[in-house]
């Protein structure tokens, strides 16, 4: 119970921390809305030329765009998560303080990132999504059960996203500068999550590969549940398997790093 209260407090602190940056949140809402508008018109032109591309109609394609804008900061697909801060703490040696805390390093940062993600979903993601739903024809389910299934998939997407970024952050134990790894992870996230185009559009073997990678759990999987293109339980199994695999690998890498690597700077 004590550990549960600790990590709940860390998550609440992560939520409050990002809630204090009101100007940054407003700027992010504006940016996501503008980029959403640009993408919507690109998608509409593409779907006019290729109706039902990827199995989506025009309204579903528009819905997919605004989901992507809602999830971009929520899942830190393009950066903005905890990984930059953790990498800096590893570089300077301040991570030694984290390791002396009576808390698990991975669970501490997971709780903080879940708090951040929840705020970004509510404070930055909902407004562009609501704007898109009001200004364009969208395909939203009418039943509560589909929305509930969608929210479960979003939570699993948060765990998968954290697992990927935790591994990226741990690379700083061996690298002098983790910026290269971070940028590669951002590029992979944009391409393989479906942020640029739905993964259902990708043809042949390429489509099979990207849909099997963990990044497809971030946007494509929740979107397909909301749009009625995927069975929720099959999606949960896929996302859950990747979440367990990534979190387990992260714990193993953390164990090796903290035992065998001299922290840079201290």
Q: Transcribe 227-249 into DSSP letters.
A: TT-S-HHHHHHHHHHHHHHHHHH
Average pLDDT over residues 161-170: 94
Tell me which DSSP letter residue 262 carries: P
pLDDT tens digits for 2-57?
678 889 999 999 999 999 989 989 999 999 999 999 999 999 999 999 998 989 99
Alpha-helix residue ranges (DSSP H) falling in 75-143: 83-92, 95-100, 105-119, 126-135
pLDDT tens digits for 46-85?
999 999 898 999 999 999 999 999 999 999 998 788 998 9
User: Two tokens at 45?
Assistant: 């032109």
**What is the pLDDT at residue 261?**
53
pLDDT tens digits for 127-138?
999 999 999 999
Sign (positive/negative) of CA torsion 138, 142, 145, 148?
positive
pLDDT tens digits for 153-162?
999 999 999 9
* Whole-prediction pTM: 0.93
Q: What is the dihedral of CA 74, 237, 83, 102, to 10 degrees?
A: 110
Is the Cβ–Cβ distance between 221 and 198 less than 8 Å?
Answer: no
Is the Cβ–Cβ distance between 116 and 14 less than 8 Å?
Answer: yes
């Amino acid at each position: 119970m004590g550990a549960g209260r600790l990590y709940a407090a860390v998550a609440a602190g992560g939520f409050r921390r990002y809630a204090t940056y009101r100007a940054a949140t407003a700027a992010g809402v504006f940016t996501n809305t503008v980029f959403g508008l640009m993408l919507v018109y690109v998608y509409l032109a593409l779907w006019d030329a290729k109706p039902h591309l990827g199995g989506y109609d025009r309204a579903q394609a528009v819905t997919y765009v605004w989901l992507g804008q809602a999830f971009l900061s929520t899942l830190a697909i393009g950066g903005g998560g905890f990984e930059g801060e953790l990498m800096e703490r590893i570089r300077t040696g301040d991570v030694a303080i984290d390791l002396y805390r009576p808390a698990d390093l991975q669970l501490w940062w997971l709780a903080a990132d879940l708090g951040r993600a929840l705020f970004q979903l509510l404070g930055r993601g909902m407004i562009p999504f609501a704007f898109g739903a009001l200004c364009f024809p969208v395909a939203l389910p009418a039943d509560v059960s589909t929305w509930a299934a969608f929210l479960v998939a979003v939570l699993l997407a948060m765990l998968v996203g954290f697992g990927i970024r935790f591994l990226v952050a741990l690379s700083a134990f061996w690298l002098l500068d983790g910026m290269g790894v971070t940028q590669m992870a951002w590029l992979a996230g944009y391409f393989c999550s479906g942020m640029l185009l739905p993964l259902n559009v990708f043809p042949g073997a390429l489509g099979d590969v990207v849909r099997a990678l963990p990044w497809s759990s971030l946007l494509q999987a929740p979107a397909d549940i909301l749009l009625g293109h995927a069975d929720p339980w099959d999606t949960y199994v896929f996302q859950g398997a990747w979440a367990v695999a990534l979190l387990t690998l992260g714990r193993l890498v953390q164990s090796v790093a903290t035992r065998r690597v001299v922290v840079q700077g201290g």
